[in-house]
Structure 1
């Protein structure tokens, strides 16, 4: 994509805008696509239809109780072939790059450079000697973790990563790029409030949630975010990218796949929720965090070979812990 004038950097979300609908198949994707009122109405109608027959409480309980089994099966089948490294990672989240010690030159970050060491600095734990600590929750097979370790050569960096699936964590640990001196991978259930993290409160600079919060039961999301908030240092932040309401994936669900409002189960047994900006704002602010960014990324993806268009809706958030 083209660079922003004078910066030499790829602009967030790109700048490939579709001005002439007749040119839609000229590229593989278009950025910041605006929906018509007709498209919005059709999407709402489709969601009403596919959620009109939710699964029974017994079926919903089965998918909750066996959630880890379904994700283990997913990674056993796909291993590390399913996800590609996220090329957009450092453009959208510069907090993960080597220059992350200095907040980006943006008004939205003014007043947030207040990182402090953990109040528990004398405790010996993995990464306790690090000066910059990142945790990714829902790391999968490492498609965020390994680019961070490869790109960020800060000697003070330590990266934690965890996943619900023991199969996924084992794939991370057996990856040739896994370095125990700079990274700790562990199994953790984000939705289990009794499951402890191997990190003391107030010790993390950044927490990353990429397409993971949507995979847990909506009623457990608030406790999960509140617990993560306690792990942050003052000035530390949570970075999130997840599915937005009326994303193509939501519209494709059939009636028998709905668990509850905007919450669905895929054919492989894994689950997904589709958020609004307001829902995420409430989750983060109730956890004592302040908004830096909360935006919708509406993208039109194109299959030029099949002459198909696909509307994707994602939400990207950054919320930080106040310094006081």
Structure 2
């Protein structure tokens, strides 16, 4: 088995069947190993012993050659600098619009963008170049919807604000760090004013010691009954296993070649982090086998998806779903 990088911009070009349950994650099952090269992707591919052994061996190799202390201080001291450089180099060309949002997060479209939804505010943290904000805006039929996109990269916010799709009457964009410790909230938002917080491949960019600050900031922004919609990297994802020497910052926490950071979560970790403040509605693992049929390569992707809810009366219900 070979672990090879698949750019973020192409991973969602995979056909997905329509479904009502956003945690069902597709319906193409590999029932005959001899048919593996018949399609570009397979859903719900469980690992065998061989894959587990390879993954553990790869992680052990990474631990033998972590990032030097000098470089670690460099990468941890000013992480927004590396995202500024990323967006300066890639502009709006790296990621594709997330057209899968209606399948994966249908509550947005049922509760916020429908014509009769009423006043609603959606906050996307780590908005990047607007690949989540603009598809939501395009599908919106609610005249009272307000979209807010924040990123701690100044350049990312500039890209959103300068995009032809940007509508200042419907979207606000601001530079804001999810792990901000000053108490400042994004421009135009007050405490308990947000209906949905979207976290798509953004929580993984935080250092573990920033997690609880980030959770507290989200808690300040969400209305009672508000939702957190989460998608990020799962433990043993191909992107984790392909890291070579000199990239490991800490347990399951890495620095990419461009200086940006990434953490790979387990379901239990997410429950432990978010369960301290919010009800855990759903946590699921999306396992996908991507196939390069021309080169005969198998690439295993693992993503986690979750929905957390702020309790209406302020008390967290600890009897949560394990699904």
What is the TM-score of this pair, normalised by structure 2? Answer: 0.87
Which of 228, 236, 255 pairs up with 2:226?
236
Residue matched to 2:235: 245
Please report how far the alpha carbon of residue 59 of structure 1 lies from its aligned counterpart in structure 2 after TM superposition: 1.5
How is 1:136-151 mapped onto 2 (pairs within 5 angstroms)? 136-151=124-139
Residue matched to 2:180: 192
CA distance in 2, matches of 1:52, 1:26: 38
Please report how far the alpha carbon of residue 163 of structure 1 lies from its aligned counterpart in structure 2 after TM superposition: 0.7
Residue matched to 1:183: 171
1:46 aligns with 2:58: yes
Residue matched to 1:100: 111
Q: Is the 8 A contact 2:279 2:308 kept in 1?
A: yes
Residue matched to 1:111: none
CA distance in 1, matches of 2:183, 2:243: 32
Q: Is the 8 A contact 1:290 1:321 kept in 2?
A: yes
Q: Is the 8 A contact 2:113 2:141 kept in 1?
A: no
How is 1:105-184 mapped onto 2 (pairs within 5 angstroms)? 131-184=119-172
1:221 aligns with 2:211: yes
Which of 281, 300, 313 pairs up with 2:289?
300
Gaps (5+ residues) in structure 2? 1-15, 314-323
Q: Is the 8 A contact 2:22 2:105 kept in 1?
A: no
Question: Cα deviations across residues 40-89 of structure 1 (Å, max 9, x unaligned)?
Answer: 23212211211222223322111122311111111111111110111221
Please report how far the alpha carbon of residue 131 of structure 1 lies from its aligned counterpart in structure 2 after TM superposition: 1.1
**How many aligned positions are there?**
294
Residue matched to 1:13: 25
Gaps (5+ residues) in structure 1? 104-114, 116-129
Q: Is the 8 A contact 1:211 1:241 kept in 2?
A: yes
RMSD across aligned positions (CA): 2.0
Please state whether the residue corresponding to 1:38 is helix, strand or coil: helix
Residue matched to 1:108: none
What is the TM-score of this pair, normalised by structure 1? Answer: 0.86
Question: Cα deviations across residues 245-281 of structure 1 (Å, max 9, x unaligned)?
Answer: 0000100001211111111111111110000111111
Question: Cα deviations across residues 212-263 of structure 1 (Å, max 9, x unaligned)?
Answer: 0101111111210121022111110111100000000100001211111111
| CA distance 1:3–1:173, change in 2 (3 Å) | closer
How is 1:84-99 mapped onto 2 (pairs within 5 angstroms)? 84-97=96-109, 99=110
Please state whether the residue corresponding to 1:176 is helix, strand or coil: coil
| CA distance 1:101–1:158, change in 2 (3 Å) | closer
How is 1:195-206 mapped onto 2 (pairs within 5 angstroms)? 196-197=184-185, 198=187, 199-206=189-196
CA distance in 2, matches of 1:101, 1:142: 18
Which of 273, 278, 288 pairs up with 2:268?
278
Please state whether the residue corresponding to 1:255 is helix, strand or coil: coil
Q: Is the 8 A contact 1:12 1:91 kept in 2?
A: no
Residue matched to 2:298: 309
